[in-house]
Structure 1
Amino acid sequence: MSKKVVWIIGIAIAVIGLLFCIEQFLAASYVVKTGLKIMLFLVLPLIWALRYERTQIATILGLKGFTYKGLVPGVLIGAGSFLIILAAYAILGTFIDFPAIAHNLQSKLGITPANFLWVGLYVIGINSLLEEFFFRGFVFLNLRGNTPVWFAYVFSAGSFALYHMAIIAGWFNPILMTLALTSLFVVGLVFNMLNRKSGHFLNSWVAHAMADSAIILVGCRVFNIL
């Protein structure tokens, strides 16, 4: 295992562990936690890349050779994800304790009906970018050429699912939690597949943002906005 691979795996494990502690034990507002997430998901990998890879930002972000036409697969997957999430809500919505989720969001993160739409815009446009840059751009695309492809897929998707476990802890019963984490793992695999062909993380970002749009629509139901 090369030094580069050890660094990437070590950073990923450390970041997920820190974010788990931040989500579960740090009594801070959503804004503070967002700032910490930006540091861990964006700034830390960029510092590492500039220090050890000594490449241009465009190369680090995988933007060389980018074309808008190449985003078509991401749009198609995103549209499918949007419809699947709304369908899942229609089918499983009666099994979800929405008041408990709303209370969890308000007590832990300070997210209320008054600021939810602003938070939603951040989640769709920026948070999805941070997650895709880290889990796909930094972890997967760096591992795929330096480890067996299956390992890059599984480690990136597994890390993506485990990271979300700290966020959604307490939202669902054990069965729905298992279903949610399994779904996140599968989504991670699909997003990796999108990016393996394109060589950058923007395809999965488009798909992720569209999927988050459906989640925010469901969130509006949680806060009785719609």
Structure 2
Amino acid sequence: MIWLIFILIVINPILEEVYWRNFMLKKQMGEWNRHSAIFITAFFYTLYHFLSILPMFQVPLNVAAVVPVFAAGIFWGYLREKTGSIVGSIVSHALADMGIICVYLFVIR
């Protein structure tokens, strides 16, 4: 359990932010304006998470579960663009994942 928590709080935010907000967002910025690039990247980030959430919940809970994911994707995209760095989005993502783990450990479980 400790290794899973470590991976979810440390490794996952780094890997996801480097991919989505560094690689994909930069790639989209070359083809779209700033707002469209952030929206498109957040949409595909949400779709990626929706596919993993789909088997966990039934409709409409699985759809509702990805709404905050989309909002976070938009926020992290703007944070990345505003600061010019992915450090803020990595830290924010790690804190969000920590919150999700705490809800699971102390409320759901």
| TM-score, normalising length: structure 2 | 0.88
Mapped partners of 2:26, 2:80: distance in 1? 8
1:195 alignment counterpart: 80
Matched to 2:15, the amino acid is L
1:160 alignment counterpart: 45
| TM-score, normalising length: structure 1 | 0.45
Task: Verify: 1:216 aligned to 2:94, yes or no.
Answer: no
RMSD in angstroms over aligned alpha carbons?
1.8
Give every structure 1 segment of 4 or more consecutive aligned residues whose post-TM-superposition deviation is greater than 3 Å. 221-224
List alignment gaps of at least 5 residues for structure 1. Answer: 1-115
2:16 alignment counterpart: 131
Matches within 5 A, 1:181-192: 181-192=66-77
Matches within 5 A, 1:38-57: none
Q: Give 1:145 deviation, angstroms.
A: 4.5
The structure-2 alpha-carbon separation of the partners of 1:223 and 1:179, relative to structure 1 and needing over 3 Å to count, comes to closer
1:151 corresponds, among 6, 12, 36, to: 36
Report which of the two structures shows the higher radius of gyration computed on alpha carbons.
Answer: 1
CA contact (8 A) 2:50 2:63 kept: no
Q: Deviations over 1:125-177 (max 9, x none)?
A: 00111001011011113322442223211211011101112222222221221
2:7 alignment counterpart: 122
List alignment gaps of at least 5 residues for structure 2. Answer: none
Q: Deviations over 1:107-135 (max 9, x none)?
A: xxxxxxxxx23201111000111001011
Mapped partners of 2:102, 2:95: distance in 1? 11
Matches within 5 A, 1:164-179: 164-179=49-64
Mapped partners of 2:50, 2:2: distance in 1? 23
Mapped partners of 2:14, 2:48: distance in 1? 15
Mapped partners of 2:12, 2:102: distance in 1? 16
Sequence identity percentage: 31
The alignment of Structure 1 onto Structure 2 pairs a total of residues equal to 109
